[in-house]
Amino acid sequence: MELLQKLSKDLQERKEAALLGGGCDKIAAQHERGLLTARERIEKFADAGSFMELGMLNTSDVKGAEHKSYGDGLIIGVGKVNGRSAVIQAGDKTVFAGTEGAVHMRKSKSIHEFAVKNGLPMFALHEGGGLRMPDGMGSDGFSDKLFPREMLTVHRQVPTMTAILGDSFGGPTWTAVSSDFVTQLQGTCMAIAGPRMLELANGQRMIPEELGGVDIHNRFTGQIDDDGATEEDCFDQLKTFFSYMPQNSDERPQMRQTNDDPYRLVDEVFNILPQQNNRVYDMKKIIETIVDDSIFYEYQRKFGKGLITSFAHLSGHVVGIIANQPNQFAGAPGPHECQKATEFICLCDSYHIPLIFLHDTPGFRISSEAEKAKMPTKIMVWNQALALSTVPKISVVIRKSIGAAYGNMCGPGMGGDLVVAWPSAEINFTGPEVGVNVVFGRELARAENPSEERKKLLELWSFDSSPYKAAAKHLIDDVIQPNETRKFLCQSLEYLLTSKREKSERLLATWPTGI
């Protein structure tokens, strides 16, 4: 009895020391930067009292570092997030700046395997400095510390979500860009290596935010899906995204209780769509009127703004919505929008989320810049993802759907289960004005009265772009009343989500998480 009490006291003292990580001074330094520690983050993020830490007594295996390296820079465990079981890990900046040593990497590997084996979603609350030196030095030190296979072969078996909450290089960055969802704290950096390493490597000097701040990722890379002004904002975004996800790939997302009538008419749309077909409007207002309780969550809201990708509910079912945004580039997709659409299709198809397409696009943005960004390849990769997706897909042409973009937005013959249009729809290879200018450009330039000549040609080229000819030949399934759009979508899901179709075949689950 006395011996066991003595051993228990020793254990308690060890765990109390472990809770301090790199020590009180390092914790104070983290607080001075306005940031929480790893354990404080987990405490705020997980449901109260639910977190069970694993590996608390881990230390670096470098001799002499034992008492200043508790946890070896990574806190891991299992807890509950909004009542749902999940694996949670957090980079501990107080231990060797959150760098990755041998024990750190072993912990990360074990928690990945634990999550996949038990069908548990994974959350990472990260910051850190990449591979630790001297642990990774030398052929023996480096050969067993390359990219971990368990990270590369998750194959969307469980939802993975990452928050970048401090400057992150190496491992935290690899985790983030391999995740299904990433949010980043404003004022932080996410990159391959830090500014100091960059300067030593090639002489470039820049501040962290110029290298990998939220503005860089929102405008250029698309490697984050949201950003927050505070750590709490980032936590809320993780939880919101998680609310649309299943527990793992063997399950469908949970139904959401709602009193919103699935057959409710949406008369508001008559006031949203402009009278003139060349006037802009905000597609988000259309989405808001259609979905349950007017609630939706936009994915990659600051990247590829000509296309909206969002999660919502229809009659309680989680759906993914892909919609052109007429008030950005007239709704014409460019390279960023193509990348965004492809990633979203892969995500939704992997987790059994039906897709809704809302068209209003004059076609793809074409330019020399787009060609340099491999626009033809990105258009076709989007189409390939569409062709391989097996979730129910419903397509609604609201206004314009012109050229190849009609296909990419799941037009006829592109794998959609139902393709319908509003009476306001215009469907064509190109607009008459563009067609006349391309075909008769030289003649018009030589004409005595170019304006009059163009008018005559436009009359000859006034092909019927309305949806009725396509509907007459059963090339589309119907023309619907705009205010019945919600009813049509909810009713369609009732009939499409059969026992045979409620889960996808997950043909896109092995596609890369960043296209």
pLDDT higher than 80, residue 492: yes
pLDDT mean over 156-171: 94
Q: Which of 125-129, 228-232, 489-493 has the lowest mean pLDDT?
A: 125-129
DSSP letter for 247, please. Answer: S
pLDDT higher than 80, residue 147: no
What does the pLDDT read at residue 449?
A: 79
pLDDT higher than 50, residue 436: no
pLDDT higher than 70, residue 143: no
DSSP sequence for 285-342: HHHHHHSGGG-EEEESTTSSTTEEEEEEEETTEEEEEEEE-TTTGGG---HHHHHHHH
Q: Which of 282-296, 371-385, 434-448 has the lowest mean pLDDT?
A: 434-448
| Residue found under tokens 């996949």 | 116
pLDDT mean over 478-502: 97
pLDDT higher than 90, residue 422: yes
What does the pLDDT read at residue 63?
A: 83
pLDDT mean over 301-305: 97
pLDDT tens readout for residues 327-352: 999 999 999 999 999 999 999 999 99
Written as one letter, the residue type at 34 is G
User: What does residue 511 show for φ and ψ, rounded to 5 degrees?
Assistant: -65, 150
Is the distance from CB of 179 to CB of 140 less than 8 angstroms? no
pLDDT grade, residue 285 (50/70/90)? very high
Is the distance from CB of 305 to CB of 326 less than 8 angstroms? no
pLDDT tens readout for residues 7-21: 999 999 999 999 998
Residue spans of alpha helices (H) in 52-148: 102-118, 138-143
pLDDT higher than 70, residue 432: no
pLDDT tens readout for residues 343-401: 999 999 999 999 999 999 999 998 898 899 899 999 999 999 999 999 999 999 999 99
337: left (phi over 0), alpha (psi -120 to 50) or beta: alpha
Six-digit token string for 21 = 């990580």
What does the pLDDT read at residue 352?
A: 98
Query: How many Å apart are CA 132 and CA 455, to the nearest integer?
Result: 70
What does the pLDDT read at residue 131?
A: 75
pLDDT tens readout for residues 164-188: 999 999 889 999 999 999 999 999 9
